Amino acid sequence: MIKIHHPQSAVSQAALMLALGLTTSITVAQEGNDAALNDAALEEIVVTGTYQKSLQSALNQKRDANSIVEAISAEDIGQLPDVSITETLARLPGLAQDRDRGNGSQISIRGMGGQLGLTTLNGREVATVEEDRNIRYDQFPSELINAAQVYKSPTASLTEGGVSGTVNLKTVAPLDYDERVVSINFRGSQQELASGIDDAINSGIGTRYSVAFIDKFADDTLGVAIGISGQEQPIGTQRAELWNYGDTWHNTQWNDEEGKNVNAPWGGSALVRGGSDKRLGTMAVVAWEPSDAFSLSYDFFYSRLEIDETQRGFDFEIDPAYARQWDIINSIDSQYANSDAGTVDLLSGRVGLSSLRNLNEEFTQKDSLQSHGLALEWNTESWVFGADLSYSSADRDRRWASLRTANTSEDMYATFGATGDNRMTFVLDPGVSLTDLSQNVIDNIEVRPLASGSDTISAIALNADYLFSDGIFSSVSFGTRVSQREKSVDAQRWEQFAVDGNTITSDLVIDAAGEDYWSDLPEYLALDRETVIADYFNGLTNPTPGDHNDLMGSWEVNEDITAAFVQLNLDTAIAGIPVTGNVGVRWARTDTATSSHQITPAVWVENADGSWAEIPAEAIAVSTDNRYTDVLPSLNLNFGVTEDSQVRLAVAKTIARAPLDWLSPALDLGQDQWGANPGESGSGNPYLEPFRANQTDLSYEWYFAENSSVAATLFYKDMESFISREAGAETVEYEGTEYSVSLPVNGSGGYIRGYELMYQQPLTFLPGYLSGLGIYANYAFTESNIKQGTPLNAAPFGLTGLSEHVGTATLWYYMNGFETRVSYNYRSEFQRDINRVSGEEGVNADEGYVDLSMSYEATENLKLLFQVQNLTDEPYEVYGLESNNPYHINKYEEFGRRFSVGFNWKL
């Protein structure tokens, strides 16, 4: 039985850790030119002991740049302090992160979601474990990433695929180092919430380490770099959910005593999650440069991520059959687009329950990623030739298994609330209990999904540059790239019911308390899952594997891309004003082949003699081909209008290809023909073409003092074509029944526009010790009129992942080897996918996170570290899309703070 405990203060824990060490600060600067990806503007964040020096380096490179790029780079390998590269990227202007279990996992650029961006590793597209195209950045340990660029304005030589931008992650180049480097990093951490959850590993204590070696041989013509990074981090979260306000088939509705139609949640749940998050990453680079005219390099990257998580709590479903018994305590007029004055939304009340269950669940996920690249470059007096071969693969195995009890009480009532601090409250009536063994029995276990997925990308790229000796153009670049991608998902799901009786005995009950578990929610049963599964279900095995394949969730996509480009690089002057930049065009042809299944329902038809016959359900294998071509011109111009200021102009046409899972031709018509909505169904669309945009960027930079700058950028994207999910986009007739099919389609688009502001200045004019202070801040505003989807019986909704407001404010201090930084990252509310399969959307509440980092240079080689993530203990909140009403809760989750101490040692 779960007992309620009072929360413990983290102050004493933090004080002990603070006494042991101090954490490094992220600063801005350093080199990031990448010949393969074109020289570009670098507005970098660099880890260094002197923040002011790093800012100076960043401003110098920004002034000399040829396109609009943000960047990060480490002073040395292993010096970026964040858990993943996500947290570091999120501090750049216009970038924001999306968190999973408290860790940064994905990035949005200029308020646009991950589906509009592209990620590469060392200039090459990488495979992903996600079913769409998005990269999980937590697979990339920050210790193994030496630099990263975010390209906001494309060039013709850059791989196409990003409308919002392209993120390029880089591993180390060993020949760039002047001497041998040996680096060892270690950190211990405590996850505040996990320390009170028995299912979390090591009482909430985690570890993280990295080791790197870099050296040159053979008269400095051969460079070698090897790195390894490991992490074992506890998981500890608690969340509460209310399911689905709205006019959908799974929503509960009834008429109250005043005759008003009442919208209420379908049900809800509360879960405490504990477990482990393990990651192992390795990196190797071998570079050979026997002369200035020839170079050959090979790079390898591998990452393995394992999540093993136990989730315990309860869920419930509301029964409209109890309508007359309900006592509406609080309601508001409905804000649904299709509702009228006779409809209200239930915010709190006493309700009857059709289901009340204890949940003891297991979630396991194993992700792996590997990338190989071989690059060759040969130079002559006027020519530069290059060739690049690459292979990338990603694999995922995932299982979620839910062990459930059932409450046998004849009448079950509870009082729920969606008011207060944006979290569900839920109180059972006296006599109804989740922990009374006489009321609760073992019911079933559901496995959903048991899924495996793989993704592979093979590519070859050839390019050449011709260098002009005079004229307005410094060089011309041209090249081609061919890639083949194969992505597949195989899924199963099944449900087992208890076979050997279902009484719960006391020896099966364990204590797995969450010490901070909310006291206004009922206690629940924590069970010995392994014993219950063995004794009541004869083990966790699919009873009839062939009958339980998830055909709708299983699919394969093959994508072949052929691209070519030509680009002129400009270096001249107009009326005495220096002008640099480039103009070019890229051509890309995409061929896709997709396969899955279409499922027809079992239906009854009347024969001529008046008898009835059943036509059984059938699964039909289907495959579809598609092709589209894009021509993508681009222009980047940089004007040095004065010694202290410059203007940049960038114009381009861009694309972002459709999410791969949306290309599946899977179609399920298997609804009940006698049900309320027998003709509703959903599908992917193998004929989707990309998101397409014409975009313009205009920026101004003013360097008003030493190490100081103010910059402003305007951007406008005219979306020619935008992919949206439409309800009833297609009609299919089968055996006399018309099915209204919801699927993603290419819509007419709209605009995405906004601006970015950046300010940085060291406050060296202050007296004495105050002169070590400095400020770095940026802000981005984005707006759009695009409607990304139209659900049944509801108004169209906006662009997934778009936050109107994104900003970062950093106050830093450095003096005599001591450095500290406090950063605040903010993004306003944004729309997010709740269920990609059904197209269900929600609104993520605005987020603001404070991180603290401190460090002290104890010796020339040793730096002591201290760090706090999520210092103000901010939760994660999602509420119903249909009304943008924070009372319409979908999910509320707390992660707690994370404290880290450790050291960096470098020889």
Torsions phi, psi of 679, nearest 5? -110, 25
Give the whole-angstrom CA distance, residue 133 versus residue 110: 18
User: Lowest-confidence range among 5-14, 103-112, 177-186, 702-711?
Assistant: 5-14
pLDDT of amino acid 322:
54
- How much is the average pLDDT of 286-315? 96
Q: Tokens 């020339």: give the residue.
A: 860
Residue 48 has pLDDT above 50, yes or no: no
Give the whole-angstrom CA distance, residue 748 versus residue 787: 10
| Strand 413-417 to 773-784 pairing | unpaired
Give the whole-angstrom CA distance, residue 174 versus residue 213: 10
Give the whole-angstrom CA distance, residue 157 versus residue 474: 16
User: Lowest-confidence range among 115-129, 607-621, 699-713?
Assistant: 607-621
Torsions phi, psi of 29, nearest 5? 160, -165
Give the whole-angstrom CA distance, residue 41 versus residue 61: 6
CB 55, CB 79: distance < 8 Å: no
Q: Which residue from 671, 894, 870, 849 is spatially nearest to 189, judged by alpha carbons?
A: 870
Residue 451 has pLDDT above 90, yes or no: no
Give the whole-angstrom CA distance, residue 733 versus residue 222: 67
pLDDT of amino acid 247:
44
Own/partner contacts of 804-807, CB < 8 Å, gap of 24 or more, are: 804/111, 804/828, 805/779, 805/780, 805/781, 805/846, 806/94, 806/95, 806/96, 806/110, 806/111, 806/779, 806/780, 806/782, 807/777, 807/778, 807/779, 807/780
Retrieve residue 235's tokens.
């998981």
Please give the single-letter amino acid code of residue 454: S
Q: Tokens 């002034």: give the residue.
A: 63
Taken in order 881, 885, 890, 894, is the CA torsion positive or negative?
positive
Q: Give residue limits of the domains in the chain.
A: 11-906
pLDDT tens profile 743-764: 888 888 899 999 999 999 989 8
CA distances 223 to 174, 180, 216, 219, 616, Å, are 5, 10, 4, 10, 66
Q: Which residue from 446, 414, 428, 441 is spatially nearest to 527, judged by alpha carbons?
A: 441
**What residues does 655 pair with on adjacent strands?**
692
What are the DSSP E strand ranges found in 706-799?
Answer: 708-734, 737-747, 750-762, 773-784, 789-790
Give the whole-angstrom CA distance, residue 821 versus residue 829: 26
Alpha helices in 331-376 (DSSP H): none
Alpha helices in 611-768 (DSSP H): none
What are the DSSP E strand ranges found in 640-736?
Answer: 645-656, 667-668, 680-683, 691-705, 708-734
Q: How many residues does the chain have?
A: 907
| Residue 175 pLDDT level (bands cut at 50, 70, 90) | very high
CB 155, CB 168: distance < 8 Å: no
pLDDT of amino acid 210:
94
Buried b (16+ CB within 10 A) or exposed e, 354-376: eebbbbbbbbebbbbbbbbbebe
| Residue 884 pLDDT level (bands cut at 50, 70, 90) | very low
Angle at 154 between CA 625 and CA 177, to 5 degrees: 110
Q: Which residue from 173, 166, 172 is spatially nearest to 70, judged by alpha carbons?
A: 166
| Residue 84 pLDDT level (bands cut at 50, 70, 90) | low
CB 337, CB 312: distance < 8 Å: no
Taken in order 122, 128, 133, 135, is the CA torsion positive or negative?
negative
CB 235, CB 275: distance < 8 Å: yes
- First-to-last alpha carbon distance for the chain, in angstroms, is 53
CB 128, CB 661: distance < 8 Å: no
Residue 658 has pLDDT above 50, yes or no: yes
Residue 837 has pLDDT above 70, yes or no: no
Share of the chain above pLDDT 70, in %: 78
Residue 721 has pLDDT above 70, yes or no: yes
CA distances 37 to 66, 93, 428, 723, Å, are 12, 21, 61, 28
Give the whole-angstrom CA distance, residue 405 versus residue 399: 20
Helices (H) and strands (E) in the chain, counts: 4, 47
Q: Which residue from 205, 231, 203 is spatially nearest to 17, judged by alpha carbons?
A: 205
Helix (H, G, I), strand (E, B) or coil at 258: coil
Helix (H, G, I), strand (E, B) or coil at 56: helix
pLDDT tens profile 566-621: 999 999 999 999 999 999 999 999 999 999 887 777 767 777 888 887 777 777 88
Retrieve residue 867's tokens.
């760090």
Residue 535 has pLDDT above 90, yes or no: no
Share of the chain above pLDDT 90, in %: 47
Give the whole-angstrom CA distance, residue 740 versus residue 298: 52
Give the whole-angstrom CA distance, residue 694 versus residue 633: 10
- How much is the average pLDDT of 153-169? 94
Taken in order 858, 859, 860, 862, is the CA torsion positive or negative?
negative
Between 198 and 539, where is the model more confident? Answer: 198
| Residue 83 pLDDT level (bands cut at 50, 70, 90) | low
pLDDT tens profile 839-872: 566 788 889 999 998 999 999 899 999 999 999 9
Between 355 and 795, where is the model more confident? Answer: 355
Between 16 and 633, where is the model more confident? Answer: 633
User: Lowest-confidence range among 207-211, 302-306, 518-522?
Assistant: 518-522
Retrieve residue 886's tokens.
């924070």
pLDDT of amino acid 900:
95
Taken in order 888, 893, 896, 902, is the CA torsion positive or negative?
negative
Please give the single-letter amino acid code of residue 243: W
Determine whether domain 11-906 maps to CATH 2.40.170.20.
yes
Retrieve residue 15's tokens.
């004080």
